[in-house]
Chain A
Amino acid sequence: MKRCLMLLIIVIFVFVGCGINKDVSLQSVLDSGQIRIATSPDYPPFEFIDSRKSGKEQYVGADIKLMKFIANELKVKLVIQATNFDTVLALTYDKTVDLAISGFTYSIDREENYLYSDYYFDEGEQGILVLKSKYTVETTFDEFIDKLIGAQSSTLQSYFVTEQIGKNSLKKFERLADGIMLLDNNNIDGIALSERVAMMIINQYSNKYVFLNQRFIVNTEETRTYVILPKESNALANKINVIIEKVIDERLYYKWDDEAKALAYELGVMG
């Protein structure tokens, strides 16, 4: 009797297992009436927190607008899961969330474990932010060969520093604010950043920093940002691609980006 029961249970598990293997990503989103999106809201103007508001409303930024647009198009409720960057990846891998939008750029290692959508934005030019009192805008990268350049760990910029300036020039840090503290205290000579983020900082502290004229040599594919999904959710990915195509056609993201920048500037100046 017991053995029969065990067999039955095993058979049921096998069948359930087969059921899971089918791609139900899109259907489950539509059936449950909500789409769960993970993000790490500490990177203005992509995504950040407006502490004057509370609850779901407090998450603001261009990526958040994109999430709202996606939820609107699918006619489902949006549930935002805010965690730190590493946990965003873990949640996506786990399929605890349906997808993640957090300013992800392309990397081969990530491609193995996650599904990439089409790109929705191009971060643009990448360069170095330095102290105005120490360098002029004409300074070239050659002068930094025997100096330290900071970059956020495991980002595109850290890769550029090791590849295009020098293997020993890279100083990693966790948050952008930490890097700026290092720069202020002369522990490093520059921070590798995308131009748009650098301009956010320069707008807030105009007399302190400058962005060098020379730029890193990049492929356009490297600086593009993508939505990432768990593996085996091709149905949802296809649907997301259709929505992203619409976003690109109507140039919506640039509008959101401008609004997010203005808001981030307002919050930052306010303190």
Chain B
Amino acid sequence: MKKIIIYFLISLTFSLLTTSKQESISNYSIQLIEYEDNQLFEIKKEAKDEIVLWIKQNIRFNEYSLKNQDLINNLIIYYIEKIDNARHKEKVDWLIVKVKKELNNISSIEEEENMDKFTLYDRLINNTFIGRVFKILANNYISLLKGLLITLALAFIAVLVGSILGIIIALMRISTNKIINRSARVYIEIIRGIPLLLQLVTIYLLFNSFLGAFWAVATALFLNSSAYVAEIIRSGIQAIDKGQSEAARSLGMSYRNTMYKVILPQAVKNILPALGNEFVAVIKETSLAATFYIGDIMTVKNNITSITYLALEPFIIVGSIYLLITYGLSKVISKFEKRLVS
């Protein structure tokens, strides 16, 4: 739009130039012959070119504040006429200086008007870092809250389904059957050895068409989480002293009974706090899902960044939200831990 306006203006001035040139040729040709001053004609032509160039370079036509456009147009018309009528080189030079001055005045008036429009409050908001942070926060808190909800939902699904899968894989991992044991181990090693982002992209490409973006991302996250949960559970179970299971077995309990009544109740104490930490970790990992614009809090941050061209301010906001959530969660988890111990 702006480009079109600028071109329009330039073409307008050019067309003005050409028409006035023709006029000048017809009206003042006699005078030109009289003075034998072809030089002056050239000077006038150059002067007009100079003005057009100067306008192009120095006056910023704002698409959204074109109040002064008519004023500038009239000025240009007025001065170009004057230049055509000028009879001395000095006069032409003086006119150029004058037109530049007047045009400058107009643009500075415009700037002053703009400055007047902003109150002290506005200036504080738009020109300081903290002000911008609060402005973004005030304008986007609804979408930020929505994003937070999606992030938490995603983390919850990932940990819940991941835990169920993780338990199965952990049981496979501690089983004595070689094939089952090996396959569980391979699964864990593959998932833990590949960066989450690569897993996200691969699973998104595979499942996106029939699951939709959200569930494709959720699938990737819970598959990833399941491997870590499996390791947490396995280590929790294996951390129980071997004597416990030996004692239970020697009392005549079956393997199943030993597991359910002796080992697992003790293992839960080891497992639960670590599981809570896994939940905190998954909340942070969901930020990678913003690659696919599923609407989580990082997606909201990306939207704000792309529209306002501000990189740091949205980061501060989103970072502090993540910090608040994870800090609150780890507080809750530590309380649980204390209760488990007592």
Instruction: Knowing A42-B302, A124-B3, say if A180 contacts B309 (CB, 8 Å).
Output: yes
Q: Tell me which of B59-67, B88-96, B224-232 binds A.
A: B59-67
Whether the Cβ atoms of A42 and B306 lie closer than 8 Å is: yes
Q: Tell me which of A64-72, A149-157, A171-179 binds B.
A: A171-179
* Residues of B with C-beta under 8 A to A137: 57-58
B146 to chain A: closest residue by CB = A54
* Residues of A with C-beta under 8 A to B57: 137-138, 213
A84 within 8 Å of B (CB atoms): yes
Whether the Cβ atoms of A271 and B136 lie closer than 8 Å is: yes
B312 within 8 Å of A (CB atoms): yes
Whether the Cβ atoms of B306 and A48 lie closer than 8 Å is: yes
* Residues of B with C-beta under 8 A to A265: 64
A-B contact list, 29 entries, CB within 8 Å: A41-B306, A42-B302, A42-B305, A44-B306, A44-B307, A48-B306, A49-B303, A49-B307, A51-B300, A83-B293, A87-B205, A90-B201, A96-B205, A96-B208, A137-B58, A177-B309, A177-B311, A178-B311, A180-B311, A181-B311, A181-B312, A201-B309, A203-B63, A204-B308, A204-B309, A205-B309, A213-B56, A261-B1, A270-B139
* Residues of A with C-beta under 8 A to B306: 41-44, 48-49, 175-177
B322 within 8 Å of A (CB atoms): no
CA of A94 to CA of B201 in the docked complex: distance in angstroms?
A: 12
CA of A202 to CA of B132 in the docked complex: distance in angstroms?
A: 17
Q: Which of B209, B292, B293, B303 contacts A96 (CB 8 A)?
A: B209
Chain B 47-104 interface residues, beta-carbon cutoff 8 Å to A: 56-58, 60, 62-64
Nearest CB on B from A56, distance (A): 12
B310 within 8 Å of A (CB atoms): yes
A27 within 8 Å of B (CB atoms): no
* Residues of A with C-beta under 8 A to B312: 181
Chain A 119-147 interface residues, beta-carbon cutoff 8 Å to B: 124, 137-138
* Residues of B with C-beta under 8 A to A101: none
Q: B residues bordering A, Cβ < 8 Å?
A: 1-3, 56-58, 60, 62-64, 114, 132, 135-136, 138-140, 143, 146, 201, 204-205, 208-209, 213, 291-293, 295, 300, 302-312
Nearest CB on A from B11, distance (A): 16
A200 to chain B: closest residue by CB = B309
Most buried by A among B143, B208, B209, B306: B306
Q: Label chain B's interface by main secondary structure.
A: helix
* Residues of A with C-beta under 8 A to B132: 271
Q: A residues bordering B, Cβ < 8 Å?
A: 41-44, 48-49, 51-52, 54, 81-84, 87, 90-91, 94, 96, 124, 137-138, 175-178, 180-181, 195-196, 199, 201-206, 213, 257-258, 261-262, 264-265, 267-268, 270-271
Whether the Cβ atoms of B204 and A87 lie closer than 8 Å is: yes
Nearest CB on A from B307, distance (A): 5
Whether the Cβ atoms of A87 and B291 lie closer than 8 Å is: yes
CA of A131 to CA of B18 in the docked complex: distance in angstroms?
A: 36
Taking A82-B292, A271-B138, A271-B304 as known contacts, 5 extra A-B pairs with beta carbons closer than 8 A to each other, sorted by chain A number, are A42-B303, A96-B205, A177-B311, A180-B309, A265-B64
B200 to chain A: closest residue by CB = A87
Nearest CB on A from B293, distance (A): 4
Whether the Cβ atoms of A267 and B309 lie closer than 8 Å is: no
Nearest CB on B from A259, distance (A): 10
Whether the Cβ atoms of A271 and B62 lie closer than 8 Å is: no
Please give me the 4 A-B residue pairs with the lowest Cβ-Cβ distance, nearest first.
Answer: A82-B293, A177-B311, A42-B306, A51-B143
Nearest CB on A from B325, distance (A): 20
Nearest CB on B from A153, distance (A): 15
Nearest CB on B from A236, distance (A): 17
* Residues of B with C-beta under 8 A to A181: 311-312
Most buried by A among B114, B204, B213, B307: B307
A138 to chain B: closest residue by CB = B57
* Residues of A with C-beta under 8 A to B58: 137
Nearest CB on A from B177, distance (A): 28
Instruction: Knowing A82-B293, A177-B306, say if A271 contacts B140 (CB, 8 Å).
Output: yes
* Residues of A with C-beta under 8 A to B295: 54
A261 to chain B: closest residue by CB = B1
CA of A203 to CA of B308 in the docked complex: distance in angstroms?
A: 11
CA of A126 to CA of B195 in the docked complex: distance in angstroms?
A: 38
Whether the Cβ atoms of A268 and B309 lie closer than 8 Å is: yes
CA of A48 to CA of B304 in the docked complex: distance in angstroms?
A: 10
B300 to chain A: closest residue by CB = A51
Nearest CB on A from B172, distance (A): 30
